[in-house]
Amino acid sequence: MPAAPSPKLSAPVGQGGPSSEILAAFRAAKGFMPVDEGLALYAAAVEAGRLGLPLLEVGTYCGRSTVLLADAAREAGVTALTVDHHRGSEEQQPGWDYHDPETVDPEVGLMDTLPTFRRTLHRAGLEEHVIALVGRSPQVAKVWNSPVALVFVDGGHTDEHANADYEGWAPHLAPGGLLVVHDVFPEPEDEFTGQAPYRVYLRALASGAFTEVSATGSLRVLKRTGDGI
C-alpha cells in the first residue's frame, strides 16, 4: 500500500459557518460525526455549492451530517441528495458497538433509520431542501445521470461497499467538485472502522483525478482536478 500523503490542515470555519440553530440540530441528531469534522464538511459543502449543482451524500443513517449538507444547499440554492437503504451498515447491526436498539423496527425486526432521519430534518426545518434516495448506493448510482458538485462517501466500511460507493458516484462529480471521504484511519488496528475508506482515499489520489484540499480528523476533502476516475 502506498504511503499516505501528509495531510493538510483545514482552514478554520469562521464567518459563513452554520448558524447556532443548525449546529444545535446537528449535535442533537443521532450519529457519530464530531463537531470539528462536521464544520469541515459544511465548509466543503458551501464551497461546492458555488458550482450550482446538487450535493450528494452516501450514507444517511439518521441525518446528522445531512443537516449540514442541507443547510449549505439551502444557502446555495441547490438540493442535497442523500442515499441510504436505511437498514444500517455492518457495524450498526445487533451485537456490534455502533448498534442502537432504538433504530430497530419492532414489527420486522430489522433496522430502519428512515423515520428518525425524517424527524431530524423536520426538527431542523430542512425537509424541502433534501431528496432522500432510499435504496442501495450501487443501484441508485447506476440510474443516476446528472452531475453533482459534492460526493460525500460515508456508507459501508467494507472494501466492497466503500469501493462501490466511490466507483458509482465519483464519475458523476463535476470538474472542480469535491470528493469528501469520512472515517479515514491509516492505522492497521482500525481495519474494521476506517481502513476501507482510507484505501478509497488513496485510490482517489492515485487516480490523478483528485488533489487533496484538507484533512480534519478522519475527514478528507479532495477536489476533482482531472480525469481518470
Q: Virtual CA dihedral for 162, 163, 164, 168, nearest 10 degrees?
A: 110
Name every residue whose Cβ is closer than 8 Å to that of residue 21 and which is 6 or more positions away in sequence: 124
Cβ–Cβ < 8 Å for 110, 87: yes
Residue 206 host element (H or E): helix 196-206
What is the CB neighbour count within 10 angstroms for residue 60? 27
The active-site residue, picked from 85, 86, 129, 157, is 157
157 annotated active-site:
yes
The residue behind cell 481518470 is 228
Q: How far apart are CA 55 and CA 72, in angstroms?
A: 9
Q: How far apart are CA 203 and CA 216, in angstroms?
A: 19
Sheet holding 55-58, edge to edge: 130-134, 80-84, 55-58, 148-153, 173-181, 219-224, 210-216
The residue behind cell 440553530 is 21
| Residues with catalytic roles | 157
